[in-house]
Amino acid sequence: MIGLLIVSHSARLAEGVQEFVGQIGGDQIPVVAAGGASDGSLGTSVERILAGLEQLRTADGILALVDLGSAVMSVETALEHFSGPPVQISNAPLVEGAYLAAVEASNAEATLEQVAAAALQARELTKVYE
Amino acid sequence: MPITVEHVTHFLTAAAELIHAHRDELTALDAAIGDADHGANLDRGFAAVIARLPTVADKDIGTVLKTTGMTIVSTVGGASGPLYGTAFVRAGMALADRHEMSAEDVVLALEAALDGIVARGKAQPGEKTMVDALVPAIEALRAALAEGRSLTRAMQAAAAAAAAGAQATIPMLAMKGRASYLGERSIGHQDPGATSTAYLLQALAMTCSRNEEEA
């Protein structure tokens, strides 16, 4: 089972993506929101991210989906203090990437590589057809 | 006269005061090309560092710098948290278990800090970031020490180079961080990260000057 970590500058945005993704997997896929700065204001928090990673410790792998700016650096910093299952940071757009990752992860046999590849397909996702 | 933990504490206190004094300026610079939180974030981070200092006052220089870095990481919510946090942690690792340091050690610590910032942010010179203040500062410091100048004079040259480096970011196109999303519109604004780096170098120069006066 692959877990998803949702990292956004906004705690509400991260929780919203978690809610949205929950529509696919229900309780099947472990999805943890780690949004906002330590005091809940806009920003990212290494502590919150680390706590989120700890919540996903029992997964076989973790895909972190991020918004922008400091999100990547905060996850990378948190990873220096985390010794659990392997973690990949996705280059996919947050909402669409999390959605596609959840679809792939709903297969309990899916590997981290497969879930990460599915999330990346969000970069090519067509929304508006000519 | 060797540099001790006390001097490092003086530097961190001076840095916190300078950041606090320039808090609104840094936030205004960030408002132009980022997310308007750089001054407030750093002020919060350094205030937390000052609050933690008494708990490590009897420790070695490396521990003080590592604690500074970890405090910044856990209290600064913007990109400057992981960047400056990593910088201080790496500088602390370079000076692990040391109770005294020389001018050459200052250069080593700053180089370790730069390596940390580059490793974390992947920025190269010319991309409108902290690197554009720190690289010329280290070059100026090294050059001045090689000419046989005192650490105080050399650090003053480094601080001046950092300030000039920060100013030189104005015409640059941002290639990293939030400002890069603005593309061409990032041109014409001074980078807030390079500016705060210049203040940290100024704090180092102030600490050296003060130390010399007292010696």
Whether residue A25 has pLDDT greater than 90:
no
User: A130 lies in a domain?
Assistant: no
ipTM: 0.85
Interface of B with A in 67-86 (CB under 8 A): 73-83, 85-86
- Distance CA(A129)–CA(A22), nearest Å, equals 27
Which regions in chain B score pLDDT beneath 70?
Answer: 215
In this complex, is the C-beta atom of B125 within 8 Å of any C-beta atom belonging to chain A? no
Instruction: Tell me the per-residue pLDDT of A73-95, one tens digit each, with 9 for 90 and over.
Output: 999 999 999 999 999 999 999 99
Q: What tokens does B99 get? A: 């109770």
pLDDT score for B211: 84
The DSSP string of B53-78 is HHHHTTS-HHHHHHHHHHHHHHH--S
For residue B118, give the chain A residue with the closest CA: A73
User: A118 lies in a domain?
Assistant: yes
Whether residue A2 has pLDDT greater than 80:
yes
The pair phi, psi for residue B187, each rounded to 5°, is -70, 140
Instruction: Name residue A6's beta-bridge partners.
Output: A33, A65
pLDDT score for B212: 82
User: A55 lies in a domain?
Assistant: yes
Interface of A with B in 6-45 (CB under 8 A): 9, 36-39, 41-45
With CB atoms and an 8 Å threshold, state whether A77 touches B86. yes
Residue A76: domain span: 2-124
How many structural domains does chain A have?
Answer: 1
- Distance CA(B204)–CA(B215), nearest Å, equals 16
With CB atoms and an 8 Å threshold, state whether A77 touches B35. no
- Distance CA(B125)–CA(B172), nearest Å, equals 10
User: A12 lies in a domain?
Assistant: yes
What's the count of helices (H) and strands (E) in chain A, helices before strands?
5, 4
Domain layout of chain B by residue ranges? 3-210
User: A104 lies in a domain?
Assistant: yes
In chain A, which residues have their Cβ closer than 8 Å to the Cβ of B81?
A: 43-44, 46, 70, 74, 77
With CB atoms and an 8 Å threshold, state whether A42 touches B79. no
Instruction: Tell me the per-residue pLDDT of A96-128, one tens digit each, with 9 for 90 and over.
Output: 999 999 999 999 999 999 999 999 999 999 989
Question: Is residue A91 a contact partner of residue A71, using CB atoms and an 8 Å limit?
Answer: no
Task: Determine what percent of chain A falls in helix, strand and coil, rounding each to the nearest 5.
Answer: 45, 15, 40
pLDDT score for A38: 87
Q: What is the CATH number of the domain that holds A44?
A: 3.40.50.510
Judge: domain B3-210, CATH 1.25.40.340.
yes
pLDDT score for B215: 67
Structure-token match 């750093």, residue found: B42
In 3-state terms, what secondary structure has residue A13? helix
Residue A9 is among the residues annotated as catalytic for this protein = yes
